[in-house]
Every structure is written in C-alpha cells, then in structure tokens.
Amino acid sequence: MQFDVQTQQVAPTPSTHQPKMMQVLLVEDNPVDARFVTGLLKSPAEELRCRQATRLAEALLLLETTRFDVVLLDLNLGDSTGFETFEAIHHAAPSAAILVLSGSDDEELAVRTVRDGAQDYLVKGSFDRRLLLRSIRYAYERNRTEEALRHSEGTVRAIFESSLDGIIIVNERGVCLEANSAAATLFGVSRQDLGGNNIRKFTEADFDKEWTQFRTMGSERGQFWVHREDGSRRLVDCCFSAGILPGQHLCVLRDITEQHSLEEQLRQSQKMEAVGRLAGGVAHDFNNILGIISGYAELMQLNSKDETLIDRAGKILSATQKASALAKRLLAFGRKQFLSPQLLDLTVVVREAESMVRCMMGASTRCVVQAGEGLGLVKTDQGQLEQVILNLAANARDAMPNGGTLTIRVENFKSSGGPLPVPAGEYVLLSVNDTGVGMDAETRSRMFEPFFTTKKTGSGLGLATVYGVVTQSGGTITVQSAPNEGSTFNIYLPVAVGDQAPAGPAVQDFSALQGHGTILLVDDDDGPREAVGGYLEGCGYTVLKARDGKEGIELSDSCNEKIEVVISDLVMPKVNGGGLLDHMGKTRPESRILIISGHADDAAVGHGIHLETTSFLQKPFKYQTLGAKIRGLINRPVTHH
C-alpha cells in the first residue's frame, strides 16, 4: 500500500528551498489500525510518502531496496512478535528513525526498545493526528542528530586511533584515562599499562613544573623527557588543552628526539665553525707578529759578533718556534694550516707510529693494533696524521690513569649516508678505543673546542688539532663515550684515487743562500715586509717592496729589469694575491712565484692559486729557509702559473 501527501502549506513563505519528502514505512498487519494511522498521516501541513508492509519479511524486502527516514512499527506481526520484530527492523535499517506503535502498554518493553535505538514508544489509541505527526517529526530530527553525532564520533575515534602523534586524556591529577597506540609506543608500554597510571611515572622530576604551567595556562605547549622501561629517553613536544570534558584534559604528544638531536648537531657544527674561524684568524695575525720577532732576532743572530747577543737572539728564536707550534695547532683546528697531502696507506702510517704509541702509553696499558692489509689509500699530510694518532693516544692515556686497553683499528668502510654523519662513499676507518673513564654529555659537547680541557695541565689543543686535521683532509670524526664506559674516536678518511703511496720528499739543501737579481715583495703588513726585505737585500738581492697587489702591479709594470721571484701574501686590500699573480703570469711569465701567508686554506683556490703547483712558505719562517726556497726557485725551470 502506498499513498502520497503533498498538499502545500497555507500562505507559504517564498523560498527556493524545496522541503524534503519524508519516506515513511508503516509495518502493520491490522487493517483497521493501518487505515487509522494512514488517515492521521494525511495532513495538509506535512509532506510524507508512506508505504505499508503487513509482515516482517515484506518489510525487510522493502528495506533492502528503499531508504526510509521513519519506520512506524507494530511489534506483533504474523511472522514475528515482540522485541525480535524491533531487533530485525533496527538491524535492517540502522539509519532510520523507528517509532514503535504497540497495542500493549508494556513499560518494560518500551524501555528496552527505546534504550536499544527506538526514538519513541506510542500505545495505539492514545495519540491523535497532532501527537503522531509531532512524534514523527521529533523522531526524524533526533535520529538525524544522533546519526551526525555518531558520524562525528566515528571520525574523531578514527583520528584518535590512527594519529601518528600520541594522544592521551588525563584527569586533574595527571592519571591517564585513555590513550591511543602512538602514545603507548612513545611511552614504551602497552595501552593497558599506560591507562590508569599517572604520567609522572614516566617523566623526570621537573615535570611537575611543566604540569603546573599547563594547568595554569589552560592551553599551553611545552617539552619534557619521557623515561622508558628499557632505560631510553624520548623528548616530547606536548600540546595541552584543559577542560575538553569536565575534569578531563587533552595532551597531544610528538616525539622530537631525532629532531632535537639534529638541531644540537647543527648548533654544535655552527659553534665549531665559528670557533674555528676565530682561532684561525687569531693564529694568522699571531703568525705575522711572530714573523717580525723571529725575523729581527735572526738578523741579530746573523749580523752580530757579540756572543751574548747571539745567544739571546737564539733564545728569542727558540721561544718564537714554540709559539709558532702553538699557532699551528690553532690553525689545524681552524682548518687553515698548510698541508702537504700525499697518497698514504693508513696501515703503514699506524705501524710506523705503533712503537711511539706503545712507549707513550706505558707498561700498565695493553696496546692492540688491528690494521688490515690491502686497504684503500687516503690523501692527507703524513706528519699531521701521525700527530692525530699521537694526540688520541695521549688523550686515551690520560683517561686510563690506572691502566687499561688501547685498541687502534684500521679497516675499509662504506657509508650509505644513513644515521651516521658520514656522507655516502668509501672510506678508510681509523678507530681509537680506550677503556678509560669516558666523558659525559657536557664534556662531549665541548671536547673539540680549543683550550677546553678537563685536565689540571695541558693546553686543551690536542683534540682541537685532531678535529682540524681530519676535517681539512676531507674526513669526518665521530665519538662514542659515556662515563665509566670508555671512549671510541672514529675517523673516516675518504678513499683517494691512486695506485701507491709516493716516496718521501727529498731533504733540501740550505747552503749557498747568497744571490742576485730583482725580487718583488708584496705584503700589506709593514713589519714582515720591512724585515724580509732587509734580509733579502743583505743576501744581495734587489728588492721592490709593495704594500698591496695594486702597488705590486704598478712596480712590476714600471720595472725594466727582469724580476726573478715574486713573493706575495694571499689576502691584501685593493688587489689580492690571486689578482697579482694572474697579472704576473700574463706580463712576466718567466718570474717564479712564492706565496707567504699566516695560513693557507680553501680561500687560496678561490684566489686562483693552486697550492699543489705553487711554492708556499707559511709564516713565521726562518730566513735561512726563505733564502733556500728562493735559491731553489731560481735554479728550477719556470712553471706556468
């Protein structure tokens, strides 16, 4: 049976919105009751489309093909009776509003059906048209509201369960009332173990301060550490919202441990870079001053016939050599010292340094060297690399005052660029491990800083030098250490292209320093320029002295004599060393080049100077060394620069 009621309302308000036709299913097997109900539904004020089913089976078939908004249900049918009828209809049409129309005033049945999903329970004969239509409208609206609420709750529950962030709901005391899987994973326990526990159980003592701040502000963001049962710690970023329900508060937790670690590494790297630049700059200026002191002291020693004065000049030179060694260690940390890189077999270098290491460590320390054969070659300065090994050995010795074991291992290593801060590629790994006292986090964060030391004596430059040499050689150094667990320094040097390590350099002959010819000396520092110029003039050379590259170019262009050697600093105002040498290469290709500087770093390449092919002398230098270098340049064929 089907009928439509589509009578328009009286004097309708103009609107473009057409009211929804409500689909109603009447399930009633009594013809009299059916006619009575359908008669009541024929109201001019409602838009209803009603269909009737007389049996449960017929109603279920209709529900399979048609979506009904409201079901008017008689519980006692020919093929079903009582609560089972309601249960079957509710299961078949869970989204429909069910209004029970019963012939019996059964309070227990009414409560049960309403509790399990019916919108209302009306007894036949107790309602009129107005009550029935109002009940249908109310049932329909309540059902729509409940459906929207169920959908909203389902969405919230899905977000709650699938969120990658941990979500917990806590009471006023901080006891966890509910938590999702991500929160349980973050705390390192199951959801059952997390629920009912105060979150203070998993945090540090200072969490009470954060909790007070959360509760005071109501809506706040903060960070705290979570301690897991396995002993690990995780740093948590918490967004707190108070009073989401009476006495309940929401905490959204995000694990930022890795992010925090990366940020710390970046800050440490930036700090080391800044300190390195400062150290390199100070050492550069210090070397210039030492050059003046040692230069004049050497001139006094060479020119004086007073034995007392010669002896005093020698002591000055000895002191400047010690100061120069200190400056070189600062330059090593700042990655600004001049290296003489060559292809090296790291196994050979370690074996050659082994006897010195054993002597340094003493009888109370067991030394184990594990160096494989046939490893890749590395390109670095052998002397500096030996210094790295000795510095790490000295550091290990001080960490093991009562003896222990020092293990030096050399092996090939291939990095995929994973969690270690080592770029992808092939390396030779030099690992130095000790069983000493180890270092805490504070010491590890500062161990490479120049002049930082935990020892009563020492310059604090040992590890700073190691850091500088490794990084300037293109390598990476990592450290694993903890109190009472020893320390392991891992040095990764990139494998270089080459077949074999070259033979050692020949010993230079420093005799016959006297000479003649014209030398162009360019240095923006007045002291070294005058001192070096005076020495070279004493050796018999004609010296053209310039304060910067521009003045050097002008002197060269105006000179009619052959310029045998150009001695130039790197960094100068107006025209730098690179610009000067470029001009000399075009106008005087026969002139030899000698670079002098307080440091030589990657900026030299930026100035157009290739240190592998251009002679270099690092300040401060002995004048005899300078004289020998000049004689060697004059006597060898010209190399185009």
Report which secondary-structure segment, H or E, holds 436: none
Report which secondary-structure segment, H or E, holds 367: strand 365-371
Q: What is the mean pLDDT of residues 398-419?
A: 88
User: What does the pLDDT look like over 437-453, one tens digit per residue?
Assistant: 999 888 888 888 766 77
26-30, 438-442, 570-574: which has the highest mean pLDDT? 26-30
pLDDT, position 56: 93
Domain-terminating residue out of 220, 239, 255: 255
Please check the confidence at residue 68 and state whether its pLDDT lies above 80: yes
Q: What is the mean pLDDT of residues 42-56?
A: 80
Please check the confidence at residue 206 and state whether its pLDDT lies above 60: yes
Q: Are residues 183 and 80 in the same domain?
A: no
Measured at the alpha carbon of residue 446, what is the angle toward residues 444 and 452, in degrees to the nearest 5?
125
Q: Are residues 281 and 235 in the same domain?
A: no
Residue 641 lies in a domain: no
Q: Are residues 303 and 208 in the same domain?
A: no
pLDDT, position 351: 87
Instruction: Please tell me what DSSP assigns to residue 562.
Output: -
Distance CA 429, CA 50 (A): 84
Distance CA 249, CA 442 (A): 36
Domain-terminating residue out of 274, 299, 333: 333
Residue 557 lies in a domain: yes
| Residue 198's CATH number | 3.30.450.20
Closest CA to 252 of 228, 230, 219: 219
Q: What is the mean pLDDT of residues 19-46?
A: 82
Q: Are residues 329 and 348 in the same domain?
A: no
Q: Are residues 354 and 466 in the same domain?
A: yes
pLDDT, position 367: 92
Q: Are residues 442 and 395 in the same domain?
A: yes
- Using 50, 70 and 90 to split pLDDT, how confident is the model at 340? low
Q: Are the C-beta atoms of 298 and 285 separated by less than 8 Å?
A: no
Q: Are residues 475 and 529 in the same domain?
A: no
Q: What is the mean pLDDT of residues 177-204?
A: 87
Residue 512 lies in a domain: no
Tell me whether residue 298 is exposed, middle or buried, using C-beta atoms within 10 angstroms of its C-beta: 0 to 12, 13 to 18, 19 or more: buried
Q: Are residues 233 and 283 in the same domain?
A: no
Cα distances (angstroms) measured from residue 332 to each of 322, 328, 466: 15, 6, 8
Residue 507 lies in a domain: no
Q: Are the C-beta atoms of 560 and 323 separated by less than 8 Å?
A: no
DSSP-based three-state secondary structure for 445: helix
| Residue 369's CATH number | 3.30.565.10
Q: What is the mean pLDDT of residues 106-117?
A: 89
Q: How many domains does the chain have?
A: 5
pLDDT, position 459: 55
Q: Are residues 245 and 275 in the same domain?
A: no
Domain-terminating residue out of 300, 333, 366: 333
Residue 308 lies in a domain: yes
| 452 or 491, which is more confident | 491
Supply the mean pLDDT for the chain. 81
Q: Are residues 178 and 238 in the same domain?
A: yes
Q: What is the mean pLDDT of residues 15-44?
A: 79
pLDDT, position 331: 59
Residue 324's domain comprises: 262-333
Using left for φ > 0, alpha for ψ between -120 and 50, and beta otherwise, residue 404 falls in left
Q: What is the mean pLDDT of residues 559-584?
A: 87
Cross-strand bridge partners of residue 5: 48
Q: Are residues 522 and 609 in the same domain?
A: yes
Residue 56 lies in a domain: yes
Comparing 232-241, 284-293, 423-432, the range with the smallest average pLDDT is 284-293
Residue 359 lies in a domain: yes
Tell me whether residue 293 is exposed, middle or buried, using C-beta atoms within 10 angstroms of its C-beta: 0 to 12, 13 to 18, 19 or more: middle
Q: Are residues 456 and 487 in the same domain?
A: yes
Distance CA 127, CA 136 (A): 12
203-212, 253-262, 279-288, 445-454: which has the highest mean pLDDT? 253-262
